[in-house]
Structure 1
Amino acid sequence: MNRTYTIIIALLLTVFAVPQSLKAQNTIITDISEPYLEKLINTAKANYPHVKSLDSRLVTAKNNVSRAKISYLDALTFSYVYQPNTTLNLNTLQPGTTDGSVGTNNRTSLFSGTQFGLFFNLGSYLQKPYAVKQARQELNIASNDIAEYMLTLTTQVKKRYYMYIQKLAAVKLQSQAAIDGESVLKDVKYRFEKGEETLDNYTKARINQTQQSQAKITAEADLFMAKADLEELLGDKLENIK
């Protein structure tokens, strides 16, 4: 009877191995590395596609400000006209002819040579300050958008990193629980084969060991999913970030 109680107590300890181990460990804070987390955040800022899109939008907004400033010159229009020194008129009577024949008459133009002109469009000029102001506002919006997203991305990386650390600790606990369950099963099986243990206790030990193994598999799957979620933001594998 005492042996039966011993086996039952061992099974109960194995079943509750994870909660008891959590109490023993008490915290996962010691597993968190702030310098490594900072590296992860910087990696996400450098690699995440949406950040690159926001950077491109910011560059475009800066170029639009420069373009709006230069557009002040659009109000000025430069032109030139070339005027020969003399013009040839073939359809006028040449003075001094009596037979009515058509001659040529070379006439000198008042404005001759190349003439340059510079024109100023006041309406276009008055519109430029508004265009520059709008371009600067768009630049501010782009800057605010990227600053806001950097805060969001930083928070997301932290949350997923903490989740990854939690799942990693859970795998360690479940692995130890599975080892304990396997140890209890071996002991009960040995005693059962010697006729020192009941079939009921042997069955309970097998069920407990199966449950612990399934819990370990679930914990491992959760760890892989947490790792994948974190790497989604990083754009790289954790193993490549030292």
Structure 2
Amino acid sequence: MRLKAAKPIVVRGKKLGGDKPLICFPLVGKTPEAALEEAKKAISGSPDVIELRVDAWNFITDKQTSMKVLGDIRKLTDIPLLLTCRSHLEGGFQEVSAESRNALYKGAIEEKLVDLVDIELISGYEEIKNLKQIASPRDVYVIVSFHDFKKTPPKEVIFATIAKEIAFGGDVAKVAVMPQSMEDVLILMSATLMARREFPDIPLITMSMGALGSITRIAGWLFGSDLTFAVGVASSAPGQIPAGELREVYKLLYSLYLNE
């Protein structure tokens, strides 16, 4: 039986940590026009969450334009929006200064344009604490994340990373790692199960990337992962599965595990 979060987060009617995993479409358009067009296509696919990968934007340093695009996307839909500015070190499309990221995050949160924000664990406790102080009073949830595109750390290290993300104030803890073997895939799922049991209140997002790790994007929810990224319009990481195919597989799993 699936181990769901004891205290799921409800965002615009979507439950992160409930019986079923949420499906998130990442958007990686580079220009204002591409970002809006991609958003419209994503909305037509009815994802549970839309991730705005603003590190892909070639106008990210222009706060005024960035805020306008965020506002335009917000007007298009009531689907929960996740704002992510991934660092180049952890798989981002370009290097964006902390100052540019923080300014955009602050503006987007204060204007209530997004529902969740992602900040990497390597940003440090003070950066995360400052973001939480802005986000929490406005009911915006903070995902603290870690990504390793080269390897899969030992189970104990993955668990310790999740524990640190939670200790630093994450409303949601996220870990994505790259497997070199099927044993690595098992390590990620085992660490996820361990974390779910140890931290039952906190929603988790975990995945093993690449083709080798694709099974975690399908079956990870049975071990405690509460959201999976799928290809609705474009892929943002290796191993993401087309949304239509993922939903068909989920129907089978739901019939087996949820009696649907």
The TM-score normalised by the length of structure 1 is 0.17
Higher strand share: 2
Name the TM-score, length of structure 2 as normaliser.
0.16
Task: Name the larger-Rg structure.
Answer: 1
